[in-house]
Copies of this chain bind each other. A is one copy, B any other.
Amino acid sequence: MSLTVVGSIAFDSVRTPFGERDRMLGGAAVHFALAASFFTEVRPVGPVGGDFGPDEFAVLESRGIATNDIEVIEGGQSFFWRGRYEYDLNVAHTEDTQLGVFGDFEPKLSDAAKAADVVFLANIQPDLQRQVRGQCSEARFSALDSMNLWIETTRDSLLAAISDVDCVIINDAEIRQLTGESNLARGARTIMSHGPRAVVAKQGEYGAALFTENSFFALPGYPLEDVRDPTGAGDSFAGGFLGYIDSHPGATDDACLRRAMGYGTVLASFNVEEFGTERVTRLTREEIEGRFEELVSMTRFDPIPVPSE
Contacts and interface: CB of A to CB of B under 8 A. Distances in A.
Interface of A: 17, 38-39, 87-89, 182-186, 189, 203, 205-207, 209, 211, 215-220, 223-227, 244, 247-248, 255, 258-259, 261-262, 285, 289, 292-293, 296, 298-304, 306-309
A307 B243 CA distance: 12
Given A298-B217, A301-B296, A182 B285 contact: no
A183 B255 contact: no
A225 B183 contact: yes
Contact of A217 (B38, B203, B301, B302): B301
B303 A296 contact: yes
Contact of A206 (B206, B211, B258, B307): B206
Contacts of A220: 207, 209, 218-220
Given A217-B299, A298-B217, A87 B182 contact: yes
Nearest to A222: B216
A3 B227 CA distance: 39
B183 A306 contact: no
A258 B259 CA distance: 21
Given A182-B89, A309-B38, A259 B303 contact: yes
Contacts of A261: 301
A248 B171 CA distance: 39
A218 B207 contact: yes
A219 B226 CA distance: 22
Identify the interface centre among A17, A285, A300: most chain B CB within 10 Å of its CB.
A300
A292 B285 contact: no
A299 B247 contact: no
Nearest to A244: B306
A285 B298 contact: no
A89 B261 CA distance: 27
19 contacts: A17-B182, A87-B182, A89-B182, A183-B225, A183-B226, A183-B227, A184-B223, A203-B206, A216-B223, A217-B298, A217-B299, A217-B301, A218-B220, A218-B299, A258-B301, A262-B303, A289-B306, A292-B303, A296-B302
Q: Which 5 A-B pairs have the closest CB atoms?
A: A218-B220, A258-B301, A206-B206, A185-B223, A216-B223
Contacts of A244: 306
Contacts of A89: 182
A226 B78 CA distance: 46
Contacts of A217: 298-299, 301
Contacts of A259: 301-304
A225 B309 CA distance: 29
A308 B40 CA distance: 10
